[in-house]
Structure 1
């Protein structure tokens, strides 16, 4: 756009060049009557043989050429002077800094500063996380790249835990209903508590404790091993106690057949 504008301006001013007129030698010879002047100089032995000056004919020819040259230079000066003034004016215009250039420059600098700040923060965050990954791999004797926890994996894990919880509640409710005086309602309450320990608490214990078993060394690994062992014994004891409770109830004849729990409770009331 800028160069197109310049071309348009220069076209409006006409041609920027000047062509000097071509002086014809024959015209000068005719104007000074070269042959006649030369013969006269030759008859008068002008200039002498060893002279360092020109003859009259030569001097007149030189003078005529100088006159034509001066006239052409004057014409060129008169033609080019307005163009020179235009160029000076355009140079002054081009030398001015337009307001939108400064505005564009300021916006560009602002964008660069913002991008530099963001990239600096991202770079710092990347270095911090990279150091954490290296420390984790070193602490756990890992040579492979870590497997990132994604949203899909989190959802799958939660759905899996919920599924196990519902299955265990359903199964334990049916098993305990025949051994509870309160029937299925009481069996369901106990099943919720046991399932919560078996599934959700075990999930949390596995998340916070099992991963520490891969540590190369350290107090955290030993504490996690001891805690996990104690929790495992507790869960095993709880489930064995639950099974023993139902077995004792059945042995004493207090258990009823499937589907008869509600009728038995109604008779007791």
Structure 2
């Protein structure tokens, strides 16, 4: 697939024999109470400050920067809490990613589904259990904003020319979802242009984003759209009421 192609498409291709595509807040100061002064205050004299010359500067220790590299893919299979009906010839793969989330670096599980559609091949990427950005006009979450953020962060290479549109209404599992269309062209060599849409939905406090796209991009618009929407319509969520977070299992050494 796109940015995840180096991680999951190889896994998916083995299943379905498809070519990989690709500051804490400061407290207020305490109030001051005037105190009578019994003696005259004399400002102390500061000692002279030595001037830094070339010899002194050369003798100063230099800090060695420490670079920590994180593998973006964690080898943990973590299927999403849902069922989906896939057409013949489709396959699925599940992994987790190290993701630069809103407040900190976190773990982001994803599912990748892929297979043939009319006019080409298609992918459906499901990201879930991620922190959401509050909309600019209220304290409610904005899955449309999240979808745009994670599209550029994990789905499409930043070197591509990415186009999106205004927020639109979709459905997943027969429930209302928000998202928009997107396309990616002029991508790095070896990656096809692609077109699709994403739809975000929150189920019992757990956020889901479904990214749907085809390669070649000419498969959309066309019959492939209806085929892919039928897959989204088949989704059945299994998130318990009151759930606000999903525990990510730790890898066994």
When normalised by structure 2's length, the TM-score is 0.17
Q: Name the structure with the higher strand share.
A: 2
Higher RCO (Cα < 8 Å, 6 or more apart):
2
